Amino acid sequence: MARLALPTTKANLLRLKEDLGLAQEGRQLLDEKREIILRELFSHLEDLRRSRAEAEAALTEAYSELAAACVSLGREQVARAALAAPAAAEIATQERSLFGIVLPLLNWQPAETAPPWGLLGTSLELDLAREKFLAAMRRLVEQAELEIAFRRLAVELRKTQKRVNALSNLLIPQYQETVGYMESGLEEREREALFQLKRVQARREGSE
């Protein structure tokens, strides 16, 4: 490991020791952050798998009811009924923060209203298809929230791991190597200075 190109002085040694302590504290904090992100990722992974399965099942049921409605009414009649449906409710978005990672909170609540079409020219299958698609939409919004959060957590985990690796494998060893080199150099200087002082004192005593 290459040492830092700094003069061997006590001032530099003290500063390096302080920087080394800060780097070690930073690595500890990053380790803690990494562990928390990992726990969140595993938690989101389980929820995401469940949400995907539920959303797929809900969509399958919705399209099955839609197919039944098309059989009973015909595609043109179903299409005309769909034109009477109001615009879908917007998805409300909020955010929460985890170690500075912005995670989404999505909420979709359509108005609880009766089907927008009348009794004539429609069927029970069409009403059921509408209910199933509303339920599927709720599942899809939940899945989207989990998908976005999972991806952001994964990106932040990679960044955090890179910082931990840089501190553990580069910066901290470099500081430790430089501190050890400076300590040895200063100790050697002190020994040489003490040796020279003793020689001077011995000469003085010999000349008296």
Q: pLDDT tens-digit profile of 130-166?
A: 889 989 999 999 999 999 999 999 999 999 999 999 9
176 vs 17: CA distance, rounded Å: 8
In the chain, count H helices and then E strands: 4, 2
Does the residue 53 lie in any domain? yes
**Tokens (6 digits) for 208:** 């008296």
Provide the residue range defining the domain that includes 62. 10-207
Does the residue 5 lie in any domain? no
| Cross-strand partners of 94 | 105
Number of domains in the chain: 1
153 vs 100: CA distance, rounded Å: 11
Query: Which positions ≥6 away from 68 have C-beta within 8 Å?
Result: 125, 128, 129
pLDDT at 113 over 80: no
Does the residue 4 lie in any domain? no
CB 174 within 8 A of CB 2: yes
Does the residue 3 lie in any domain? no
CATH number at residue 129: 1.10.287.3240
CB 126 within 8 A of CB 69: yes
What share of the chain in percent tops pLDDT 70? 90
Q: Is 74 left (phi over 0), alpha (psi -120 to 50) or beta?
A: left
Does the residue 98 lie in any domain? yes
Please report the pLDDT score of residue 25 as a whole number. Answer: 95
Please report the pLDDT score of residue 77 as a whole number. Answer: 86
Does the residue 191 lie in any domain? yes
Does the residue 29 lie in any domain? yes
Does the residue 2 lie in any domain? no
